[in-house]
């Protein structure tokens, strides 16, 4: 690594620590990724730049972002001080985005994967960041035609943020099982509930379940090692399913599939934020949270990928196997008092079926994948 890049990474890490130490607890930002679709064929279409140009001068302009391929768009809530304002903001951002794409003759795909798109037909957007990732990852990045739901939660204190991140690893499978929405890919019913997670986390380096870190200094040593050895050139090249963000003083949960249902998007955001707040409370009060090794969490991750909310998850502390639904209900019970304090309790819910289960049930009843997918697309008549 050159001297200029070394100075830049050192400055990044120093400023990141300062931002965390001066941060605010439990601010929220939600990022939703959607597919850009032809309204007739429902194929992916490479029209992000056209959409971006249409957003200029509109309320959506500063909340709109490109995300890897030109057939994808990301809409962001922006930083929100209190959870009470999150559900309405998610709804407003979706409505703004639908209002932009409709005059362009587009629909928005809202599941974690496109059911049949050919990755070879998708174009990487022309930005320095994605040109660099394209050159670095090649086939790995080309294959990642997936769509996620990310939640940033503010945490004050750099050491505390690292401890919260490490503890959250334990519940990544529960969040994935609840959010699974991508049973179809490459023209088939994959047999998975989250094909997106299998595609993304098993292809990308530094992805999936991270190791546990005890302090900011431990984490910083690792990130410095990656920069010093030329393993990464940007901090966002740590694509873990949960990570401390080095520009925003937030812990970012990245495990969830995209959500077709607006109600379920709101509920999922509530659980993510309440879980972060509950973990922070446990750390502050000395409540023990056992740090499970990645190999154990990965056992539950596979169950969540394969069976989603329909399957079982392991209570890793007790070695008991429970239904995923029971695990999530216990998790909600654990976070509920803190959720009530931050205004998220009323949004916590486990649906009768999640998005993956609903799609699989329709497929097994004989419906065509295209019909199922089309019914989930966002348009003026259906904004989620």
Sign of CA dihedral 357, 145, 237, 201: positive
Q: What is the DSSP string of 136-148?
A: HHTHHHHT--B-E
- Mean pLDDT of the 43-70 span: 95
Q: The domain spanning residue 284 has which CATH number?
A: 3.30.590.20
The per-residue pLDDT for 2 is: 52
The per-residue pLDDT for 351 is: 97
The overall average pLDDT reported for the chain is 95
Residue 1, pLDDT above cutoff 60: no
**pTM of the predicted model as reported, rounded to 2 decimal places:** 0.96
Helix (H) or strand (E) holding 153: strand 148-154
Phi-psi region of 113 (alpha: psi -120 to 50; beta: other; left: phi over 0): beta
Residue 128 lies inside a defined structural domain of this protein: yes
Residue 200 lies inside a defined structural domain of this protein: yes
Percent of the chain scoring above 90 in pLDDT: 90
Alpha-carbon span 58 to 11, nearest angstrom:
35
> Is residue 197 a contact partner of residue 255, using CB atoms and an 8 Å limit?
yes
Residues with Cβ within 8 Å of 96's Cβ and at least 6 positions away in sequence, in order, are 58, 59, 60, 63, 75
Residue 376 lies inside a defined structural domain of this protein: no
Buried residues in 137-176 as b, exposed as e (16+ CB within 10 A): beeebbbbbbbbbbbbbbbbbbbbbbbbbbbbbbbbbbbb
The per-residue pLDDT for 343 is: 97
The per-residue pLDDT for 4 is: 52
* Residue 3 vs residues 6, 11, 232: alpha-carbon distances, Å: 5, 12, 15
Residue 7, pLDDT above cutoff 60: no
Closest alpha carbon to 221 in 203, 249, 211, 283: 211
Buried residues in 16-40 as b, exposed as e (16+ CB within 10 A): bbebbeebebbbbbbbbbbbbbeee
- Mean pLDDT of the 281-294 span: 96
Residue 373 lies inside a defined structural domain of this protein: no
The per-residue pLDDT for 159 is: 98
128 band by pLDDT with thresholds 50, 70 and 90: confident
Q: How far is CA 68 from the centre of its chain?
A: 15
> Is residue 215 a contact partner of residue 159, using CB atoms and an 8 Å limit?
yes
Owning domain of residue 339:
3-347+355-360
Residue 369 lies inside a defined structural domain of this protein: no
Residue 6, pLDDT above cutoff 80: no
383 band by pLDDT with thresholds 50, 70 and 90: confident
Alpha-carbon span 240 to 238, nearest angstrom:
6
* The total number of structural domains that make up the chain: 1
- Mean pLDDT of the 224-247 span: 95
Closest alpha carbon to 36 in 75, 73, 83, 82: 73
Residue 161, pLDDT above cutoff 90: yes
Residue 62 lies inside a defined structural domain of this protein: yes
Residues with Cβ within 8 Å of 194's Cβ and at least 6 positions away in sequence, in order, are 112, 176, 179, 180, 181, 182, 183, 257, 304, 305, 308, 356
Q: What is the DSSP string of 242-306?
A: EEEETTTTEEEEEEEEP-S-HHHHHHHHHHHHHHHHHHHHHHHHT-------HHHHHHHHHHHHH
Helix (H) or strand (E) holding 174: helix 172-179
Residue 371 lies inside a defined structural domain of this protein: no
Helix (H, G, I), strand (E, B) or coil at 71: strand
> Is residue 244 a contact partner of residue 12, using CB atoms and an 8 Å limit?
no
The per-residue pLDDT for 5 is: 57
Residue 372 lies inside a defined structural domain of this protein: no
């Amino acid at each position: 690594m050159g001297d200029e890049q070394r100075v830049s990474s050192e400055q990044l890490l120093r400023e990141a620590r300062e931002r965390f130490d001066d941060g605010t607890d439990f601010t929220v930002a939600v990022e939703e990724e959607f597919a850009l679709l032809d309204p007739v064929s429902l194929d992916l279409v490479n029209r992000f730049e056209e959409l971006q140009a249409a957003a200029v001068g509109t309320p959506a302009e500063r909340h709109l972002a490109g995300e890897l391929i030109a057939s994808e768009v990301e809409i962001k809530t922006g930083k929100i001080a209190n959870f009470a304002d999150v559900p309405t903001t998610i709804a407003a951002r979706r409505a703004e985005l639908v209002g932009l794409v409709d005059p362009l003759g587009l629909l928005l795909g809202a599941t974690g994967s496109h059911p049949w798109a050919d990755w070879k037909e998708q174009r990487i957007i022309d930005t320095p960041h994605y040109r660099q990732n394209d050159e670095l990852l090649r086939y790995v990045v080309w294959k990642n035609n997936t769509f996620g739901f990310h939640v940033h939660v503010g945490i004050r204190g750099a050491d505390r943020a690292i401890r919260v991140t490490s503890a959250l690893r334990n519940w990544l499978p529960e969040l994935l099982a609840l959010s699974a929405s991508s049973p179809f890919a490459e023209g088939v019913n994959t047999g998975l509930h989250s094909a997106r997670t299998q595609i993304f986390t098993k292809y990308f380096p530094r992805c999936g379940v991270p190791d546990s870190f005890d302090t900011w200094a431990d984490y910083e040593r690792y990130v410095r090692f990656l920069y010093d050895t030329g393993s990464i050139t940007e901090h966002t090249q740590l694509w873990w399913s949960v990570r401390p963000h080095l520009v925003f003083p937030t812990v970012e949960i990245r495990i969830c599939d995209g959500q077709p249902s607006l109600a379920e998007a709101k509920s999922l955001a509530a659980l993510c934020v309440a879980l972060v707040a509950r973990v922070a409370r446990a750390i502050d009060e000395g409540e023990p949270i056992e740090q499970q090794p990645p190999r154990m969490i990965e056992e539950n991750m596979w169950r969540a990928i394969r069976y989603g909310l329909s399957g079982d998850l392991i209570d890793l502390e007790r070695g008991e196997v429970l239904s995923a639904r029971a695990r999530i209900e216990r998790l909600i019970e654990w976070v509920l008092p803190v959720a009530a304090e931050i205004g998220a309790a009323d949004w916590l819910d486990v649906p009768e079926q999640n998005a993956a289960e609903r799609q699989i049930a329709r497929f097994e009843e004989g419906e065509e994948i295209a019909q199922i997918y089309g019914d989930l697309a966002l348009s003026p008549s259906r904004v989620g």
